[in-house]
Every structure is written in structure tokens, then in C-alpha cells.
Amino acid sequence: MLLATSRRSALPNAVDCSLLAAGIDWDAVRVPRSVGECCLDLLGGSCAAVVEDPREAALYWFIAAGASAGWDVAQTRPLGMTQYLVVPPLHRVAGPGLHWRIRPLEGRLITDVRALRAAVEGVIGQPGHSRHAAR
């Protein structure tokens, strides 16, 4: 006989989130939150949609499909073909949990990969950010 308990599940709550395939309509880049916060400032209005995952202390930028090929920037991880990203529903713009830091409003999903790369490399090159940190 199976008994219900009041114990909370060990699995994260991903209600309304979607698991989407990268490499078809977009690729993505995972950036540690400490670096990503500075990148948001550097990119300003040229920054498109960004997902924040507090559990991983990471921000995810969407870039053009195929643009992650050859991406080799310290402390980051590209997501392309055969990889997936959990994406929050459009209405979730604050935590706790997975949420949009910048929603993809008016079709603005993709950040220019060159601008993102320049911002990330610029931040990593600043004092306090190690170029050799684990990815």
C-alpha cells in the first residue's frame, strides 16, 4: 500500500517550464551570474532575452542557431545541437526559481554573438575574474 506523506519532493519544481532543444531556432550560452551581471550592464539595450537560473547561479543568453560552434570562452558553456535548455513561461519574471531576467518581447530573443563574446571576455579579463576558472 502506498501512503501519501507530507515530505517535500527532492525534485525541483518546474511547473509551467518547457524543455526546449537548442540548435534549431537558437543556440544559447551559459554564463556564471557573477560574470553575467556585468555583461548585462555592458550590453545594455543590445541585450535580448536572458534566462536566470538561481539554482545554478547562471544566466543564459540566446544566440543565433549555429553560432555556438567554435565558442570557447572560459567560464562559459555553449548549448547547440543535441542540447536542451529549460525555459520558464513568459509571465515568470522574478524568482524564486527559473525566470526571465529579460523577456523576449516583440520578437527580441537573439543577442548578437560577437557583442556577447566581447562582453564576456571583457568581464573575465577584469581583476577578480579568473581566466582559468572551471566551466
* Nearby residues of 6 by Cβ (< 8 Å), 6 or more positions away: none
**pLDDT tens-place string over residues 100-125:** 999 998 889 999 999 999 999 999 98
Residue 3 lies in a domain: no
User: What backbone phi and psi angles, to 5 degrees, belong to 9?
Assistant: -65, 145
Note whether residue 80 is domain-resident.
yes
Unique residue bearing C-alpha cell 524568482: 95
**If you write DSSP's letter for every residue of 50-106 in order, what string do you get?**
EEEETTTTEEEEEEETTTTTT---TT-EEE-TT-EEEE--TT--S-SSSEEEE--GG
Domain assignment of residue 129, yes or no: no
Beta partners for 134? Answer: none
User: Is 90 within the bounds of a domain?
Assistant: yes
Does residue 13 contact residue 97 with C-beta atoms inside 8 Å? yes
In a domain, 75, yes or no: yes
Question: CA Rg, the chain, in Å?
Answer: 16
Are 57 and 49 in contact, with CB atoms under 8 Å apart? no
Asked if residue 131 is part of any domain, the answer here is no
**118 domain residue, yes or no:** yes
H or E element: which one contains 26? strand 26-32
pTM of the entire structure? Answer: 0.83
Expressed as residue numbers, the domain containing 67 is: 18-124
Note whether 29 and 70 are within 8 A (CB). no
Q: Within a domain: residue 40? A: yes
pLDDT in tens, 19-65: 999 999 999 999 999 999 999 999 999 999 999 999 999 999 999 99
Longest CA span, the chain: 60
Q: What is the number of residues in the chain? A: 135
Predicted confidence at residue 16, as pLDDT, reads 86
